[in-house]
Amino acid sequence: MFGYDSVQELVEAAEKQQKRISDLVIEDQMIELGMTRDELTGKMIDNLQVMKEAVNEGLVSGRKSFSGLSGGDAFRLNEALKGDRMLGGTLFGKALVKAIAIAEVNATMGRICASPTAGSCGILPAVVLAAAEELGLSDEEAAAGLFTAGGIGMIIAAKASISGAEGGCQAECGSASAMAAAALVELAGGTPRMAANACAIALKGVLGLVCDPVAGLVEVPCVKRNAMGAANALAAADMALAGIESKIPVDEVISAMKAIGDAMSPKFKETAEGGLADTPTGRRLAEKIFGNENKKNKQQN
């Protein structure tokens, strides 16, 4: 359990105690898990290490997934980054490369750290690792960002959902992006209130996004949506750091995300029956991967 029911509560406590959100999350989880601060940070740094390894694997291997739908794009984008051919600047470019690298590794059964899920595992690590490299942060500082993201994630999971099968992609990649935006603000030295605004702005940007994976696999559009989730987080963090506020408070945005998810047709909740999965090309790819066996099973069920 987490001792805070809303982001507002978390921000007010941080302001009152003049602490960062990550400090409050760590203090809360020390009690919850019966671990010391060092033990908690150590475990989070282990997760950070897995995230770094996943990026490296994704960049060097260029491995295709079993379905053949994904693989090799992180390498391609990294060549553009290395050749100074990206429009958005180094931090932005690095975040996109890392997000795709991790999502591709996930698709090839490589080792990843779910954050908050496997399908969205590229977003938060990408922005935290890119920011750590560009801002010169230590592992311990980067891990603090992950605790901030984890605190936001626990609140979203309790108030709404972090699962595509329950709330669509807005709940899965959307939550990851909102968590990442809040973490980025803290890593860049912004206030807890700015972090909450970044969280709200990021989530607002993806409200209504459906989960429509081609052939039901975590590849199309999931790999590139991880990159978009990272881009969305960076945009939201930049706005919040400049002092822009979300007109709709973050907790109300989270509630809206839940209401939209509840009203969303099951076709758009990871069933591969709507959206991109139900396009002519999406259906053709599914048929090519699973053949007629897929159709046969569908009838049985």
Partner 1 sequence: MDVFDIIGPIMVGPSSSHTAGAARIGHIARELLQERPVRAHIKFHGSFARTYRGHGTDRAVVGGLLGMFPDDVRIRDSLAIAEREGLKVTFETVSLRDAHPNTVVIEATGESGRTLTVEGASVGGGNIVIRRINELKVEFTGEYNTLVIPHRDMPGAVASVTNILAYYNINIANMKVYRPDRRGEAMMVIETDQEISRELVEMLAKLPLVIKAMNIEKCRR
N- to C-terminal Cα separation, the chain: 37
Q: Which of 23, 130, 137, 150 binds partner 1 (CB under 8 A)?
A: 150
Report the nearest approach of partner 1 to the CB of residue 259 (Å). Answer: 21
181 is an interface residue for partner 1 by CB under 8 A: no
61 is an interface residue for partner 1 by CB under 8 A: no
- Burial of 39-54, coded b for 16+ CB within 10 Å and e otherwise, reads ebbeebeeebeebbbb
Q: Which of 6, 41, 78, 115 binds partner 1 (CB under 8 A)?
A: 115
288 is an interface residue for partner 1 by CB under 8 A: no
Q: Which of 171, 203, 210, 215 binds partner 1 (CB under 8 A)?
A: 215
198 is an interface residue for partner 1 by CB under 8 A: no
Report the nearest approach of partner 1 to the CB of residue 109 (Å). Answer: 4
Distance of CA 299 to the CA centre of its chain: 34
The answer to whether 218 and 131 are in contact (CB under 8 A) is: no
Q: Which of 109, 259, 262, 281 binds partner 1 (CB under 8 A)?
A: 109
25 is an interface residue for partner 1 by CB under 8 A: yes
Query: What is the helix (H) or strand (E) element at residue 41, kind and residue range?
Result: helix 37-61
Report the nearest approach of partner 1 to the CB of residue 83 (Å). Answer: 29
Dig out the tokens for 145 from the structure.
């960002």
293 is an interface residue for partner 1 by CB under 8 A: yes
107 is an interface residue for partner 1 by CB under 8 A: yes
Backbone angles phi, psi at 269, to 5 degrees: -125, 65
114 is an interface residue for partner 1 by CB under 8 A: yes
Among candidates 105, 113, 112, which has minimal Cα distance to 219?
Answer: 105
Dig out the tokens for 24 from the structure.
């409050």
Say how many residues touch partner 1, by CB under 8 A: 58
Report the nearest approach of partner 1 to the CB of residue 164 (Å). Answer: 10
Nearest-angstrom CA–CA distance, 155 and 6: 6
Nearest-angstrom CA–CA distance, 288 and 301: 21
45 is an interface residue for partner 1 by CB under 8 A: no
Q: Which of 99, 162, 203, 260 binds partner 1 (CB under 8 A)?
A: 162
Distance of CA 62 to the CA centre of its chain: 22
- DSSP, res 212: -
Nearer to partner 1, 48 or 239 (CB): 48
3-state secondary structure of 269: strand
Dig out the tokens for 202 from the structure.
């990021």
137 is an interface residue for partner 1 by CB under 8 A: no
Beta bridge partners of 269: 211
Query: Who's near 75: CB < 8 A, 6+ residues apart?
Result: 59, 60, 62
Nearer to partner 1, 179 or 239 (CB): 179
Residues at the contact surface with partner 1, assessed by CB under 8 A:
1-2, 25, 29, 32-33, 40, 43-44, 46-47, 50, 65-67, 105-119, 121, 124, 146-147, 149-151, 153-154, 157-158, 162-163, 165, 179, 215-219, 289-290, 293-294, 297-298, 300-301
